[in-house]
Structure 1
Amino acid sequence: MFKAIFFRRFFLPTCLVVCLFLTGGVGYSLSVFKDRLLEIEIENLNERARLASLQAKTFFPLKKVEALQALTEQWEGAASYRFTVAGPSGRVLADSQKDPGRLENQSHLPEFQKARAGEIASSLSDKSIDSGQFISAAAIEKDGEVVGVVLVRAESDGIMVEWAEFASRLFFVLGAFVFILMGILWRKNRLENESLRMMEESVTRFSQGDLSIKSSENGGVGMDPLLHKMNRMAKRIDGRIRTVLLQKNEVEAVLFSMSEGVLAVDADEKILRVNRAAADLFGIESDHICGRRFHEIFRNSKLKKFIRRTLESSDPVEDQFTVMGEKDCFIHAHGAALVDADNKRIGALAVLNDVTKLRKLENMRRDFVANVSHELKTPITSIKGFVETLLQDDFNDPESAQRFLQIIMKQTTRLNVIIDDLLSLSRMESEMDRVEISREKVRIRELLQSTIQDCAFAATEGQMEVELVCDAQLFAHVNRPLLEEAVVNLIQNGLKYGKGGKKIRVSGAIENDVLILSVQDWGPGIEATHLPRLFERFYRVDAARSRNLGGSGLGLAIVKHIAQAHNGTVSVQSTPGQGSQFFIRIDLHQFAD
């Protein structure tokens, strides 16, 4: 850059001034030289014309034209000029190059007219040069009377060739002089230009944020102190920038790591900062939005109102609202004034907490308490009613008493099942929180056969067939008692709700180090709306039917917890009218042989 500035502002103007000066001098010199050549040439022509007129007057009165013709040819041979002799009327009498009879009358020439008036006339104009010919004319006088005129002609080519040779030599000398002069100027200013270049590189590095490399302080004439000060300045700036960047990176790391969304706006509702959590909450890209208007990026009306309330309020603001999207989020927002180092208010800061999971857990807890209360209250109410009936003084019906006692026994058994399942769930959750479950290498076919045998009585009673599909050499590291309990729950679930199919298939396989156990029935199936909540505690597709069948509503929840205890998953596929298939998938990668 500085080299270009030096070239444009110093070297090039200097060259132009020198060239213009030399060009003007050379042009003037060539003009003077040309004029001098012309003067010499005209003087020669005039002298030739005067001498020729003195010699020619001896031939007048003209007697022999041939002798005059021979004289003109003799003159040309001696001087290499063209000589023409014309009479007073302008008629050509003799010519050294052409036939006189074929030449036109010369009286129209200005030189002829002036010579006949007694002057030695010559042409000294650029027009003559352009026409390629110089003319000089002298009168032939005899006895005081003009008897003829001698005209001498010279071609301008010779003069122009001589002038061109002189000009080329002069230009060669001029070019050599300019080249040497420019070389001296370039050499003289090279150190200063190099110093400017070094300064340019230093400033460029500084502007790009590279302050770690010092500039060489051997910069040439008068540049060392300046470069030394630049290095000191760069060192100080580098230290300050590093401190600011460190602080900025720490703030960015904190904001990036926060699970809470952070949103800062100025007094004009322009976005100052948005962290990734806040961008994810509202489904926007956090890049290139700082400096833009808040309402251009965030479309949630409740968030807009919250930000405006925060900007207008001098006290902290708190609110709750829902963000609609693919998955609705419930947001708990805290807002406060944003102040600068001088404690001057410059905007608003909002911290957004996604409490969707907490709200969901709270709803689940509330539903769980309600469901447990309902599931326990129903059999207890039934037991209480029949006991009160049996305790009546006037009750004396042994047959009805026996039936009432059987109902009380059934409800008591149901209570026992519910309490056992609740205790089992509680025990599994407690153990999962404390320690990893123990595993052993188990032959999967034997495990599945054991579960089928446990359910054989219920299958026979329900007139259903349980089919096993599993390789005898299939092994996996699992907790056998827990996994047997999970599969038994799935088989019992199929026996209760899949009776229309008359068959249940239990299968096991390993694909890509993943153990897949499935229980499939061909019963009535389950509507798609029920599938996402099917593994929740006490969730029932048909509550009345489930209670009549004696279910506690916790079987599938227990299956889910057993799968999670194995770091696995549970899922279901179901089509109404075609049946359902439940899957337990357990990753065996870390236990692969």
Structure 2
Amino acid sequence: MKLSVLVLITALAVGLSIGIVNFYFQHSWYYLLVSFGISFITSFLVFYYLFEKYIYTKIKLIYKLIHNLKLGKDLKEALGEYVSSDPINDVEQEVKEWAGAKKREIDLLKKQEQFRREFLSNVSHEFKTPLFAIQGYVETLQDCIVDDPDMAVKFLKKAANNVERLSYLINDLDAISKLETGEMPINYTKFDFVLLAKEVMENLEDRATSHKIKLSFKDKYTAPTFVSADREKIRQIMINLMQNSIKYGNENGSTAIKIFELHDQFLIEVTDDGIGIEEKHLPRLFERFYRIDSHRSRQEGGTGLGLAIVKHILEAHEQTISVRSTPNIGTTFAFTLQKSS
């Protein structure tokens, strides 16, 4: 409601009240009209001045601050311009929007704080396990290096394996950090994704055989598929996804690669018929160190950062990845790659 309308209604109410009171005592329509006119005009002028000076101006200032600070301007700029002719209604809307935005921001900060606590706890746990193992092996080596050289060699190899695990963990954390900050550049090249996929399958063939998993790539999906991306990083994605499908596959199971042509992209799917993933785990699957079955994951090895790295690499390519899964039926990871011009 505009200021003049608000003041008019207020002055009209005052004028009518005084006029009716005057008519009650004077019993004259003349005095009623005179008192109504004088009180109406006086009230309008007084209320307009009071509203303008002490209320409306303040509301305009509040609106300017809220509106311009929301646009990211500094305080001086925010006070220097006015963009609304009806700030009373606008300020209500702005405050509601601002309050909603602040609530969402607070919820996000709480979520990030929870994630930070979980991340620090996971990092601590992942580092402690090999470190304590190394410490135990070194202490044992000190006791048996002279009396039992064979046992010493055995413990030395175990300590070396844990050092290697620590090295992988540090390298993966460093890779994620560089991808997030943009320190790891994406070197776009044109290459045939089919050749890359076959190369990855050949490299993982022995591992798949040891797990009794069959790797397949049907002929209808093997037409030349030229994409524009960082070949080495896409190779890393395929290795991570294929290793996961082998790791969590069932004996005598299979893992298949499929390629679907979209408008300006290719959709790549890695599908297995393994143990599957419960729906409640899917939203957190790409978080760092998130494990569905921590006991089996550590038995199979890995740092718990593979899928987080996959997601960060694809985000650096401005592409997406998704997952769908049904327990005891299988899992499909699907991601997009840009077609090469």
- TM-score for both structures, normalised by structure 2: 0.69
Distance in 2 between residues matched to 1:390 and 1:580, nearest whole Å: 44
Quote the residue 2:241 is aligned against.
490
Is 1:475 the counterpart of 2:293 in the alignment?
no
Q: How does 1:39-118 map to 2 (within 5 A)?
A: none
Quote the residue 2:22 is aligned against.
none
Q: How does 1:123-522 map to 2 (within 5 A)?
A: 253-254=67-68, 257=71, 273-275=91-93, 278-279=96-97, 331=103, 354-392=105-143, 396-431=147-182, 437-469=186-218, 470-500=221-251, 502-522=253-273
Note closer, same or farther for the CA distance 1:274–1:586 as it changes in structure 2 (3 Å cut). Answer: farther
Distance in 2 between residues matched to 1:471 and 1:499, nearest whole Å: 26
- Amino acid aligned to 2:227: A
Distance in 2 between residues matched to 1:275 and 1:256, nearest whole Å: 13
Residue range with higher mean Cα deviation, 571-580 or 368-377:
368-377
Deviation at 1:511, TM superposition (A): 1.1
Is the 1:572–1:580 contact (alpha carbons within 8 Å) kept by the matching residues of 2? yes
Deviation at 1:584, TM superposition (A): 1.2
Distance in 2 between residues matched to 1:494 and 1:379, nearest whole Å: 25
Structure 1 unaligned residues grouped into runs of 5+: 1-243, 260-269, 283-328, 332-352
| SS of corresponding position for 2:140 | helix
Distance in 1 between residues matched to 2:211 and 2:317, nearest whole Å: 32
Note closer, same or farther for the CA distance 1:575–1:511 as it changes in structure 2 (3 Å cut). Answer: same
Distance in 1 between residues matched to 2:268 and 2:96, nearest whole Å: 40
Taking every aligned residue pair, what percent have the same amino acid on both sides? 34
Distance in 1 between residues matched to 2:194 and 2:244, nearest whole Å: 20
Note closer, same or farther for the CA distance 1:438–1:467 as it changes in structure 2 (3 Å cut). Answer: same
Distance in 1 between residues matched to 2:232 and 2:136, nearest whole Å: 39
| SS of corresponding position for 1:551 | coil
Is the 1:256–1:276 contact (alpha carbons within 8 Å) kept by the matching residues of 2? no
Quote the residue 2:299 is aligned against.
548
Q: Deviations over 1:380-406 (max 9, x none)?
A: 101111211121269734453343233
Distance in 2 between residues matched to 1:378 and 1:574, nearest whole Å: 31
Distance in 1 between residues matched to 2:141 and 2:193, nearest whole Å: 51
- 2:280 corresponds, among 523, 529, 543, to 529
Is the 1:515–1:585 contact (alpha carbons within 8 Å) kept by the matching residues of 2? yes
Between structure 1 and structure 2, the one with the greater Rg is: 1
Is the 2:319–2:335 contact (alpha carbons within 8 Å) kept by the matching residues of 1? yes
Q: Deviations over 1:130-154 (max 9, x none)?
A: xxxxxxxxxxxxxxxxxxxxxxxxx
Note closer, same or farther for the CA distance 1:395–1:542 as it changes in structure 2 (3 Å cut). Answer: farther
Distance in 1 between residues matched to 2:96 and 2:337, nearest whole Å: 35
Instruction: Give the structure with the higher percent helix.
Output: 2
Q: Deviations over 1:316-340 (max 9, x none)?
A: xxxxxxxxxxxxx984xxxxxxxxx
Distance in 1 between residues matched to 2:338 and 2:135, nearest whole Å: 48
Note closer, same or farther for the CA distance 1:252–1:487 as it changes in structure 2 (3 Å cut). Answer: same
Is the 2:194–2:222 contact (alpha carbons within 8 Å) kept by the matching residues of 1? yes
Is the 1:517–1:583 contact (alpha carbons within 8 Å) kept by the matching residues of 2? yes
| SS of corresponding position for 1:465 | strand
Distance in 1 between residues matched to 2:162 and 2:95, nearest whole Å: 51
Distance in 2 between residues matched to 1:277 and 1:418, nearest whole Å: 47
Aligned-pair RMSD on alpha carbons? 3.2
Relative contact order, higher structure (CA 8 A, sep 6+) = 2
Note closer, same or farther for the CA distance 1:393–1:516 as it changes in structure 2 (3 Å cut). Answer: closer
Is the 2:268–2:336 contact (alpha carbons within 8 Å) kept by the matching residues of 1? yes
Quote the residue 1:101 is aligned against.
none
Deviation at 1:527, TM superposition (A): 0.8
Structure 2 unaligned residues grouped into runs of 5+: 1-56, 74-87
- How many residues get paired? 267
Is the 2:229–2:338 contact (alpha carbons within 8 Å) kept by the matching residues of 1? no
Note closer, same or farther for the CA distance 1:453–1:400 as it changes in structure 2 (3 Å cut). Answer: same
Q: Deviations over 1:215-257 (max 9, x none)?
A: xxxxxxxxxxxxxxxxxxxxxxxxxxxxx9x999966853764
Q: Deviations over 1:269-323 (max 9, x none)?
A: x9983345734865xxxxxxxxxxxxxxxxxxxxxxxxxxxxxxxxxxxxxxxxx
Is the 1:508–1:516 contact (alpha carbons within 8 Å) kept by the matching residues of 2? yes
Deviation at 1:431, TM superposition (A): 2.5
Is the 2:144–2:152 contact (alpha carbons within 8 Å) kept by the matching residues of 1? no
| SS of corresponding position for 1:449 | helix
- Amino acid aligned to 1:406: K
- 1:563 corresponds, among 296, 310, 314, to 314
- Amino acid aligned to 2:216: E
Is the 1:503–1:522 contact (alpha carbons within 8 Å) kept by the matching residues of 2? yes
| SS of corresponding position for 1:574 | strand
| SS of corresponding position for 2:332 | strand
- Amino acid aligned to 2:287: E
- Amino acid aligned to 2:121: A
| SS of corresponding position for 2:182 | helix
Distance in 2 between residues matched to 1:372 and 1:248, nearest whole Å: 46
Note closer, same or farther for the CA distance 1:279–1:379 as it changes in structure 2 (3 Å cut). Answer: same
- Amino acid aligned to 1:438: N
- Amino acid aligned to 1:443: D
Is the 1:509–1:516 contact (alpha carbons within 8 Å) kept by the matching residues of 2? yes
| SS of corresponding position for 2:212 | coil
Is the 1:256–1:275 contact (alpha carbons within 8 Å) kept by the matching residues of 2? no
Residue range with higher mean Cα deviation, 559-568 or 455-464:
455-464
Is the 1:444–1:508 contact (alpha carbons within 8 Å) kept by the matching residues of 2? no
Quote the residue 2:78 is aligned against.
none
Note closer, same or farther for the CA distance 1:399–1:251 as it changes in structure 2 (3 Å cut). Answer: closer
